[in-house]
Amino acid sequence: MASRRKPIVWSIAGSDSGGGAGIQADLATFHDFNVHGCTVITAITAQNSFALGHISVTPRRTLAAQINALDSDLQADVIKLGMLADESVVSMVAKYLETYKGFVVCDPVMMSSTGGELSKNLSACMIEKLLPHCDLLTPNLSEAEAILNREVGGLDDVERAAADIVALGAHAVLIKGGHFDARNSERHDYWTDGIDGFWLSGTNVDTLNTHGTGCSLSSAIAAALARGYSLPDALVIAKAYVSQGLRMAVQLGGGPGPVVHVG
Ligand code: PLP
């Protein structure tokens, strides 16, 4: 019997020793979506549920070796980008993406939910080198503000900010958390490609256990796309997946617990 091909999704991201975010969350998500996950580890973080300690950025040679090993054998149907740590990682990944033909989902990770900086002052470098290769960028509000170097306030401004990020070079953007000053609104996340745009609604899940939410959402979008769903469907599926993970999330250590992966 011919073997049925399983989609392959790469995560180019950092390792979270606490197991809640980063590469660990990405692989758990890929498993739930029945896609094969490959990893290019950009940095090793030492962290638990309440603090980010040490960060060791992967040496350039090791980064290149991971990319080359995968590219020569396990080519990606979709690539998800997470923590890119520093300018040298951004440059190398951007260079690889110049020839990559598949879909790229980029979660422009800057801060850990425990408060530490995961990627230092990357906005300028990301805008110049990476954004043109991103089919979908998924910033939260503070990441959108860092990219635009201005505050974003109010629902209209979220729509303007999303359009501004597309004007900077990303093919499309999903700004997460559009509800921040409209708590009774059902409008949560805003997507635009600069021509069309829509709000994704959802119910607020009242929990402090949100570690890994952004990683899991971007990985779920990447995996759903690799499974053949259209982008609007992939966004809805990924949002439902993460909302359920938040509803089931529990505190494990002294700090916020991780989103639960439920296949
Ligand atoms: N990537 C790594 C390696 C992390 O450790 C974290 C958070 O601690 C993130 C990404 C971002 O996590 P979140 O999905 O909570 O935004």
Look at residue 179 in the predicted model and tell me its pLDDT: 57
Higher pLDDT, 66 or 260: 66
49-98 confidence digits (pLDDT tens) = 999 999 999 999 999 999 999 999 999 999 999 999 999 999 999 999 99
Protein residue closest via CA to atom 1 of ligand 1: 22
Ligand 1: which of 39, 209, 211, 259 to mutate, judged by most atoms within 8 Å of the beta carbon? 211
List the domain range (segments joined by +) for residue 27: 8-247
Q: Which two tokens stand for residue 221?
A: 């979008």
122-142 confidence digits (pLDDT tens) = 889 999 999 999 999 999 999
The CATH number assigned to the domain holding 124 equals: 3.40.1190.20
Mean pLDDT of the residues in the chain? 93
Question: Ligand 1 in contact with 22 (CB < 6 A)?
Answer: yes
Answer yes or no: is 43 within a domain.
yes
The dihedrals phi and psi of 62, each to the nearest 5 degrees, come to -70, -40
**How many domains does the chain divide into?**
1
Answer yes or no: is 108 within a domain.
yes
Answer yes or no: is 263 within a domain.
no
CA atoms within 13 A on the CB side of 257: 14
| CA–CA distance, 261 with 71 (Å, rounded to integer) | 28
Answer yes or no: is 157 within a domain.
yes
Answer yes or no: is 47 within a domain.
yes
Report how far Cα 188 is from the mean position of its chain's Cα atoms: 17
- Tell me the pLDDT band of 220, cut-offs 50, 70 and 90: very high
Question: Ligand 1 in contact with 109 (CB < 6 A)?
Answer: yes
ipTM value, please give it. Answer: 0.94
